[in-house]
Structure 1
Amino acid sequence: MDRAGKREAVTALHDVFDKTGVVVVAHYAGLTVADMQKLRHQMRTAGATVKVAKNSLAKIALDGTDVASIGSLLKGPTLLAYSNDPVAAPKVAVAFAKDNDKLVILGGAMGATALDANGVKALATMPSLDELRAKLVGLIQAPATKLAQLANAPAAKLARVFGAYAKQGEAA
């Protein structure tokens, strides 16, 4: 790679580190090409991205970003998984590491917060932003639904009482 290519790679990585919600760093030594393709597909499906970058270029790109704390993790054959959703990349990485012991999660960063391997695993157990939004909407809608049921309940009971009297009157 020539200097211009390296400069472009560093700029692209710097933009990623600046704009991403979470970055996970893992060793991938021993993964087959098919395994890497499977991991990339799973990440893409979840809204995350996997990138294998030269460690020296990634360290240069980390300068001046919130996730600069991951610089010490960049040793050996490492891959970077990142997403805007703070849960997507860790969730897929942890699930893939459970099935494939060749992927070893080293740690990561969520904004300025550095995460070790256990921190990434804890983050993976949390619900995603979409799940949290759905729960919040459900909680907001629940009182309105209950209120509507309470408002309609007396009228429904009254209609049943009239219906019962009408049936009694017909039977007599």
Structure 2
Amino acid sequence: MPTDAKIERVADIKDKLERCSIALTTGYSGIPVNDMTDLRRRMRDAGVEFVVVKNTLANLAAEEANVPQFSEIIEGPTAIAFGYDDPVDTARAVNDYIRATRSPLAILGAIMGPGPVLQRTEVERLATLPSKPQLIANLLGQMQAPLSRLLGVLNGPLQNLDGLLQARIRQLEESA
């Protein structure tokens, strides 16, 4: 018979799975308590909710949240990083922590909405993407470049005509 605490925990995880833009699972075995405290603080500072869960409760919550593929990336001692904004920021925060501290924390995979499961290598690749504002700026720059070149081509004859007229004016002023 499930206890009230477990029922509440499943409901809480289900709610987080439904609200998050990315849910990234990690294996946390071998991490000392002090490092785990530091990890949670860094994740909180990055806007990521980092939660240690029992696999059975996470599997139940995944079924209730209609993301059964989430069960594929739960194995061993599991912690979940829930990101609610840009998925790249969450992946980058976890990946940067692992690289910076050489932590034994291991990325198992991630899900973004109802889509397929992202494996560890795909999550690491996601972490290397530029931020959303930077991608938008790059896109706008790419869209603006052809217009700038066209403007330069169209402006060229006018500038040549202006230069020719200015030279003729100087020539007439010198001869007068």
Under a length normalisation based on structure 2, what TM-score does the superposition of the two structures give?
0.75
The correspondence for 1:158, drawn from 157, 161, 173, is 161
Alpha carbons of 1:156 and 1:8: their partners in 2 closer, same or farther (altered >3 Å)?
A: farther
Return the offset for 1:114: 1.5
Q: CA 1:164–1:5 in structure 2 vs 1: closer, same or farther (change >3 Å)?
A: farther
Q: Over aligned residues, Cα RMSD in angstroms?
A: 2.9
Equivalent residue, structure 2, for 1:139:
142
Q: How far does residue 3 in structure 1 lie from its aligned partner after superposition?
A: 4.1
1:101 aligned residue (84, 100, 103): 103
Report the number of matched residues. Answer: 171
CA distance in 2, matches of 1:143, 1:70: 44
**Quick one: which amino acid aligns to residue 49 of structure 1?**
E
Q: Which amino acid in structure 1 is aligned with residue 139 of structure 2?
A: L
Asked if the contact 2:25–2:110 (Cα under 8 Å) also holds between the matched residues in 1, the reply is yes
**Which deviates the most, 103-112 or 67-76?**
67-76
What letter is aligned with 1:169? Answer: L
CA distance change for structure 1 residues 66 and 131 in 2, over 3 Å: closer, same or farther? farther
Deviation at 1:103, TM superposition (A): 1.1
Task: Output the CA distance in 2 between the equivalents of 1:167 and 1:32.
Answer: 81
Q: Would the alpha carbon gap of residues 91 and 166 (structure 1) be closer, same or farther in structure 2, given more than 3 Å must change?
A: same
Aligned residue for 1:89?
90
1: CA distance, partners of 2:23 / 2:116: 11
1:138 & 1:43 partners in 2: Cα distance? 32
Shift of 1:26: 0.9
Q: Which stretch shifts more, 106-115 or 28-37?
A: 28-37
Q: Which runs of 5+ in 2 are unaligned?
A: none
Distance change in 2, residues 1:141/1:26 (3 Å):
same
Tell me, what secondary structure is at the counterpart of 2:53?
coil
For the pair 1:18 / 2:18, whether they are aligned, the reply is yes
Runs of 4+ in structure 1 off by over 6 angstroms are: none
- Contact 2:31 2:103 survives alignment (8 Å): no
Q: 1:18 to 1:156 in 2, by over 3 A?
A: same
The answer to whether the 8 A contact 1:67-1:113 is kept is no
Query: Deviations 1:25-63 (Å, cap 9, x if unpaired)?
Result: 112234355544554455455543322233332222111
Distance 2:152 2:40 in 1: 48
- Check 1:59–1:163 CA distance in 2 against 1; reply closer, same or farther (3 A cut): same
Pick closer, same or farther for the CA change 1:136–1:41 going to 2, 3 Å: farther
Shift of 1:113: 0.8
SS in structure 2 opposite 1:29? coil
